[in-house]
Amino acid sequence: MDFKALVAIIIGSALINNFVLRQFLGICPFLGVSKEIKNSAGMGISVVFVMLLATAVTWPIQTFVLERFGLGYLQTLLFILIIATLVQFVEIAVKKFIPALYSALGVYLPLITTNCAILGVTIANIKNSYTFAQSMAHALGGGLGFLLAMVVFSGIREHTENTDPPPSFRGLPLTLISVSILSLAFFGFSGVSEGLFG
Amino acid sequence: MKKLSILTKGIFKENPVLVFLLGLCPTLAVSTQASNAIGMGAATTFVLLGSNIAISLCRRAIPDKVRIPCYIVLIAGFVTLIQMIVEAYAYPLYMSLGIFLPLIACNCIVFARAEVFANKNTVIDSILDAVGMGAGFTLALFAVASLREIFGSGTWYGLAIPGLSSYNVPLLAMAPGGFIVFAVLIAILNKVSNGKAVKKKEFGCAGCPSASVCGKGGAR
Amino acid sequence: MKKDFIAPILALAVICAVIAGALAAGNAVTLPIIQSASDARALSAMERVIPNADAFVQLETDNLPKTIAEAYITSNNTGYIFIVSVNGYGGEIRLICAIGTDGRIIKTETLAETETKGIATPVFEREHLYIGMDSSLNGIDAVSGATITSNAYKNGILDAFEAYEIIKGAQA
């Protein structure tokens, strides 16, 4: 397992194939929670955490249980249940053992259950036939990319909130157009990766 | 008359995508081609129909405490079924929808209809509601996809449009184009209806019909 | 207290069991269709790259490059077919590459890819350039802006040539 390939996966999933800006995964929490930098950082960190945890659980289950017994068709069902249960356990555990962290992240955890980026990353790991290390790198990169996109965008959004666009564009249309420009900006990263790994 | 309004409200007055801004991920992601939009719309409608029927049938049998996990299981089950059907009978569609086919399981339109409508209404009403909402979702998806395909690739439903195919804007078929086209569509709706059409002025979780699902979600 | 614990769990378990059963049934019905359709697709892809073969025989050779998913030889010895799976920019690229007994490419085709639309598309539109190439692949340049996809494609073809040499060596 060479290290370079892992770094390439992390950079690739964080910057180039950014979940929100390029693959349209997790748009709802992205638009819903990106109003303030503080909240969006909290949400982003929770997503990184849950993505890593979900991958660490779903990958072995897929490889050692579902594939071994020819139950591949239960993938979607089982993964979404695992993620929902996992989020609950994490919430309970964090609440009990690290109250400080809970007060910072607690409100975002339940929102993650219906975040398609989490289910997306676990299914994509299997689809791309990644190894365990590669899957974890993919989850880490994807989560960090989500965090980055959220924080950068909430910074932009704090400014667009105070502008005075034509009435029809007020609210969501303006927000979406800002996302579009940010997404365009992320296209620049494709060149970077070619320089690094080409 | 009341039945008819259950059916039609999903298409116009309460269109899940354009009015309530639900299910944006698939709307933006698979809307590069009109044919994909129809396929995704049909698949989602199937899941909606299945989950609405199942949930309204079992609404008295499902204890309130575990209703969210039950919905998750039922919805994911129907998603897996449609995955199998599409892979067996519509392989090209299966390839072009890719990961967004299993991700119907996370589509908040399906959750919202289960929580807001199906668990309070009869089977017949739930079927009408599912068909209406499915049609509304498909219609919105089809509108975005048509705009993106016509101006982004110069084709429509795979057919080249004479005169446009050499002046296409590839950007619209790529990720940023999805956001722009949807933004303009919402802005036009705002303009036409004097700001009345789009119910949710702000995009926040509080106003989301599935907020109760997310907020109280999981196996509690 | 105990009672209102059991009923919800029972209901959830019943629903899970029913759904799992339904899925198993659905799987039993669709799996043969999915498999025969995928076999038919594989055969028609092989017939597209080598049209005049009467049958394809799968080869089980060790030590092939690990990107070679499957290797075939036509029953009348006109050429070899390799199904190659390489990692591109956005996941797996699955190619089919037919190499004639003279060591030149008969035809290549892409079976599946999830590369960036628009940017990487030219790579797949230039597949015809590979026809007639030998293992040096002279004159195949990367598409600018899509170097990773181009290189993945090219490396896949080179792996097919490597497999070709190994199989030829084993047969000699």
Q: What is the pLDDT of residues B139-157, one digit of tens each?
A: 999 999 999 988 888 888 8
CA distance C93 to chain A (A): 10
By the CB < 8 Å criterion, does B85 face chain A?
A: no
Find, among B117, B150, B154, B162, the residue nearest to B20 by Cα: B117
Instruction: Of C148, C125, C126, give the one whose Cα is nearest residue A189.
Output: C148
Give the per-residue pLDDT at B138: 95
What ipTM describes this predicted complex? Answer: 0.86
Contacts of A92 (CB under 8 A, 6+ apart): none
C89 touches chain A (CB under 8 A): yes
Residues of A in contact with B214 (CB under 8 A): 110-111, 113-114
Task: Check A198 against C147: CB less than 8 A apart.
Answer: yes
B interface mutation test: which of C30, C89, C93 has the most B CBs within 10 A?
A: C30
Calculate how close chain C gets to A167, using CA atoms only, in Å: 34
- Indicate yes or no: CB of A176 within 8 angstroms of CB of B219: no
* Mean pLDDT taken over chain B: 83
Q: Which of B71, B97, B99 to mutate to test the interface with A (most CBs of A within 10 A)?
A: B99
Say how many domains are in chain A.
Answer: 1
- HSE, CB side, 13 Å, CA atoms: give it for residue C40: 8
> With an 8 Å Cβ cutoff, are A115 and B69 in contact?
no
CB-based burial label for B95 (10 Å; 0-12, 13-18, 19+): middle
Give mean pLDDT in consecutive 10-residue pieces for chain A, a chain of 198 residues: 77 87 86 81 87 94 89 89 86 84 73 80 88 92 94 90 85 89 86 58
C119/A17 Cβ within 8 A? no
Q: Is the minimum CB–CB distance between C119 and chain A shorter than 8 Å?
A: yes
Would you call B95 an interface residue with chain A, using a CB distance cutoff of 8 Å? no
**Percent of chain C scoring above 70 in pLDDT:** 95
Q: Is C152 helix (H, G, I), strand (E, B) or coil?
A: helix
Chains in contact with B, counting 3 or more C-beta pairs less than 8 Å apart as contact: A, C
Residue B84: list chain A partners with CB under 8 A: 73
pLDDT given at position A59: 94
CB contact under 8 A, C20 and A74: yes
Q: Is the pLDDT of residue C131 over 90?
A: no
- As a whole number of angstroms, the distance between CA A55 and CA A135 comes to 7
Which is nearest to C84 in space by CA: C34, C27, C45, C131?
C45
* Residue A7 is assigned to a structural domain of this protein: no
How far B165 CA sits from the closest chain C CA (Å)?
14
Residue A120's nearest CA partner among A20, A30, A45 is A20
Range of the domain at A125: 28-184
* Segment C71-103, tens digit of pLDDT: 888 888 788 899 998 887 767 788 999 998 888
Choose the closest CB to B62 out of C11, C37, C118. C11
Identify which of C11, C33, C117 has the shortest CB distance to residue B66: C11
pLDDT of residue B157: 84
Which pTM does this prediction carry?
0.85
Between chains, do C119 and A190 touch, taking CB under 8 Å as contact? yes
Q: How far is C158 from chain A (nearest CA, A)?
A: 17
Mutate to test the interface with C, among B70, B83, B153 (most CBs of C within 10 A): B70
Does the residue A166 lie in any domain?
Answer: yes
* Residue A55, domain member (yes or no): yes
Give the integer Cα–Cα distance in Å for C155 and B78: 41
In a domain, A194, yes or no: no
Interface B–C counts its CB contacts (< 8 A) at: 60
| pLDDT of res. A6 | 85
Contacts of B198 in chain A (CB under 8 A): 171-172
Whole-angstrom distance, CA of residue B104 vs CA of residue B87: 15
- Select from C23, C26, C91 the Cβ nearest to the Cβ of A127: C91
Asked if B63 is an interface residue toward chain C (Cβ–Cβ < 8 A), one would say yes
Q: Which of A77, A124, A194 sits opposite C148 (nearest CB)?
A: A194
Q: Is residue A22 part of a domain?
A: no
Report the residue from B70, B80, B85 with minimal CB separation from C15: B70
Gap between the Cα atoms of A176 and B182, Å rounded: 8
**Residue B215 pLDDT:** 43
Question: By the CB < 8 Å criterion, does B218 face chain C?
Answer: no
Asked, for residue A9, whether it belongs to a domain, the answer is no
* Residue B77 CA: distances (Å) to CA of A44, B44, B138: 29, 13, 21
Residues of chain B with pLDDT under 70: 1, 195-220
**Alpha-carbon distance A39 to A42, whole Å?**
5
CA distance A175 to A154: 10
Does B84 reach chain C within 8 Å, measured CB to CB? yes
Q: Which chains touch C (3 or more CB pairs under 8 A)?
A: A, B
Q: Is residue A111 part of a domain?
A: yes
Which tokens go with C28? 């039993």
